[in-house]
Amino acid sequence: MYAVGEYIVHPGQGVCLVDEVSAGPGASYQLFPVGQRRPLRISFPVASEDRLRPVLSRDEASALIDSYPALEVDTFSARSSSLEEEHFKTEIREGSCLDSVRIVKTFRERIAEVRAHNKKPPVAYERILKQARERSLTELAVALETTTEDVQTLFMDRMGEEPAEN
């Protein structure tokens, strides 16, 4: 059972702060999403807490950022872009922070490859990249007790890149 003040990852909302835990037969967590423009309190049943997971530790977050250059990209592909998009969105919702970071790297490379051929990347690529980036940056920022911008800077430093939009 999670305690008030802990950060957890909700499958749909991402990183949330446990604001309150109500007891009784319909016990529920009152969760407050982190990093959203207009967050709403979410009531989540304690009975379904197996769908929640704790945020990475500070050491795990640092190790993940350090391992980014060597991280393998995801080679999944489907016969239609909608199936592919659904696969990656499910992985973002239900997977770990590592999965989200891997998806960010995958779609940064896919988008760069398409642009290298002077073509415009599919909108689905941009959507998946944005969702995975927001999910992973927020979790890493909470784990490292810093801002998402600082986490982006850490990634850029590991890759030897100048700060940019990605």
17, two tokens: 């702060």
Rounded CA gap, 37 and 126, in Å?
A: 20
pLDDT per position as a tens digit, 6-50? 999 999 999 999 999 998 888 999 999 998 777 789 999 999 999
Domain count within the chain: 2
Rounded CA gap, 151 and 83, in Å?
A: 31
43, 33 in Cβ contact below 8 A?
A: no
Whole-number pLDDT of residue 36: 79
- pTM: predicted TM-score of the whole model, two decimal places: 0.91
Are residues 72 and 150 located together in one domain of the fold?
yes
Are residues 66 and 134 located together in one domain of the fold?
yes
Rounded CA gap, 107 and 73, in Å?
A: 9
44 three-class SS: strand
106 three-class SS: helix
159, two tokens: 């890759």
DSSP 8-class letter at 16 = E
Give the domain extent around 22: 7-54
